Amino acid sequence: MARLAVVEELALGDRSPSELQAIVGLPSNLLAHHLKVLEDAGLVTRRRSEGDRRRTYLTLLDSSLVEQERAEEVRVGRVLFVCSANSARSQLAAALWRRTSDVPVASAGTRPAEHVADGARAVAHRRSLKLVSAKPRMFSDVTADDDFVIAVCDNAYEELGSTVDLHWSVPDPVTQGDDAAFDLAYAEIERRVTNLAPRLLAS
């Protein structure tokens, strides 16, 4: 049952081990044992934070392990994807969301770049995906009270704290800069959007 509780908690978003421990209520040594079993089985992966390098985040690699009928549906006014620069990951997430769901969507950054990354525009073009925003926008200028906020980068999650409803620890493709990095980011975000979209309904 403990491993099932861990899997269910990671079904929609990523957690640090300390966050997971507080939620599932397991002693740290017992949680570490269950996480090792899940990692060894290839069901969970661990990534070091791109922000606070002392932290790691756990990601469930196969969301089909959680029964869809057990998932609670949530009504939201809008989904707001946020990363630090709003130049790649949050832009792609918002565009994928708009293609997948009728729940309104926007994107923003905690420290917006001057323009959308060329790599993000290129991968969107390759996948026939239309970006939602023409340029990066500041989180504080975009956010609204009824937003369901999803941080798609570690820096934004760690900056915004409890403002964030879900955290997706997606590696930054801009730092690598090649097509392969943007394709990997696109694929991971698409997987997560596809998993979450049926569970969020427009209010």
Give pLDDT tens digits for 148-167: 999 999 999 999 999 999 99
On whether both 63 and 79 belong to a single domain, the answer is no
On whether both 51 and 28 belong to a single domain, the answer is yes
CATH of the domain at 122: 3.40.50.2300
pLDDT band at 172 (very low <50, low <70, confident <90, very high): very high
Give me the residues paired with residue 80 across strands: 106, 149
On whether both 47 and 100 belong to a single domain, the answer is no
Q: Which of 12, 42, 69 is the last residue of a domain?
A: 69
Domains held by the chain: number: 2
Closest CA to 151 of 93, 195, 74, 76: 93
pLDDT of 70 reads 52
CATH of the domain at 61: 1.10.10.10
| Residue 15 burial (10 A CB sphere; 0-12, 13-18, 19+) | buried
Residue linked to tokens 């740290």: 28
Closest CA to 51 of 203, 155, 145: 155
In this prediction the pTM is 0.93
In one letter, which amino acid is 162? S
Give pLDDT tens digits for 69-108: 455 789 999 999 999 999 999 999 999 999 999 999 999 9
On whether both 76 and 15 belong to a single domain, the answer is no
Cα separations in angstroms, 88 against 72, 93, 94: 30, 9, 10
**Residue 21 burial (CB count, 10 A):** 18
Give the structural domain span for 47.
2-69
Average pLDDT over residues 157-186: 96
Percent of the chain having pLDDT more than 70? 97
Give pLDDT tens digits for 29-62: 999 999 999 999 999 999 999 999 999 999 999 8
On whether both 46 and 138 belong to a single domain, the answer is no
The 8-class DSSP code of residue 15 comes to B
Q: Which of 52, 69, 86 is the last residue of a domain?
A: 69
Q: Which residues of 22-53 are buried (b: 16+ CB within 10 A; e: fewer)?
A: eebebeeeebeebbeebeeeebbeeeebbbee
Angle, helices 28-40 vs 2-9, to 10°: value is: 70
Q: Which of 69, 84, 105 is the last residue of a domain?
A: 69
